[in-house]
């Protein structure tokens, strides 16, 4: 069975009132899942994207609002987390490894899954590739992590897609992944 890479990006919201209004078990609520499926030759072969209608933090935090390319009206057209997450995991297939830009997305995915009572199929410890870290090791000073837009610019991968939409950031992360020598890191 062929193994694919699922390059995933999440957008999430937080309490508009800072820590005062924060839910104790959910500091960040996922509002968008975007992903690209990458084959063993590092070609993007499929895409997944869905907005999620928030249940906890219905008003976008001001910092989140300035970053994202949508607002509460768009999110109100989204579907529930449980439905979207189940659909996303089915889309992933059976034989894959996650890739993310940085370490937080999978932590927040699992936290949201626990809160919304979505069965967690991931083994412990959870294996994934942090593309940002691998990029730093191959192209940087091995300590300083660069932002996705900097890596995209350095690799001359910029396309007419905006940053800070989950699908577009997953797309760019997938393109950066293809620039890496994964064998150097013991990846398969």
pLDDT tens digits for range 99-154: 999 999 999 999 999 999 999 887 766 789 999 999 999 999 999 999 999 999 99
Contact 88, 37 (CB under 8 A): no
- What is each CA distance from 138 to 88, 99, 131, 134, 176, in whole angstroms? 30, 16, 10, 6, 11
Under a CB-based contact definition with an 8 Å cutoff, are residues 172 and 163 in contact? yes
| pTM exceeding 0.95 | no
pLDDT of residue 130: 97
Side-chain-facing half-sphere of 38: CA atoms under 13 Å: 24
pLDDT for res 188: 62
Give φ, ψ of 97 to 5 degrees: -130, 135
Of 2, 166, 88, give the one whose Cα is nearest residue 174: 166
**Sites in the chain below the pLDDT cut of 50:** none
- What confidence score (pLDDT) does residue 4 get? 94
Pairing of β 128-130 and β 44-51: unpaired
3-state DSSP percent of the chain in helix, strand and coil, to 5 = 35, 20, 40
Please report where in the chains the tokens 């760019």 appear, as a residue.
Answer: 172
């Amino acid at each position: 069975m062929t193994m694919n890479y699922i390059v995933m990006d999440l957008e999430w919201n937080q309490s508009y009132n800072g820590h005062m209004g924060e839910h104790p078990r959910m500091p960040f609520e996922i509002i968008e899942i975007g992903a690209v499926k990458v084959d063993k030759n590092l070609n993007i072969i499929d895409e997944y994207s869905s907005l999620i209608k928030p249940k906890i933090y219905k008003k976008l935090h001001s910092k989140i609002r300035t970053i994202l390319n949508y607002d509460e009206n768009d999110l109100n057209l989204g579907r529930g987390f449980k439905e979207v997450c189940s659909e996303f995991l089915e889309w992933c297939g059976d034989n894959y490894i996650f890739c993310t830009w940085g370490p937080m997305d999978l932590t927040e995915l699992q936290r949201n899954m626990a809160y919304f009572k979505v069965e967690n199929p991931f083994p412990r410890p959870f294996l994934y590739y942090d593309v940002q870290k691998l990029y730093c090791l191959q192209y940087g000073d091995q300590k300083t992590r660069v932002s996705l837009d900097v890596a995209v610019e350095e690799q001359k991968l910029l396309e007419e897609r905006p940053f800070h939409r989950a699908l577009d950031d997953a797309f760019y992360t997938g393109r950066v992944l293809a620039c890496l020598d994964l064998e150097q890191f013991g990846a398969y």
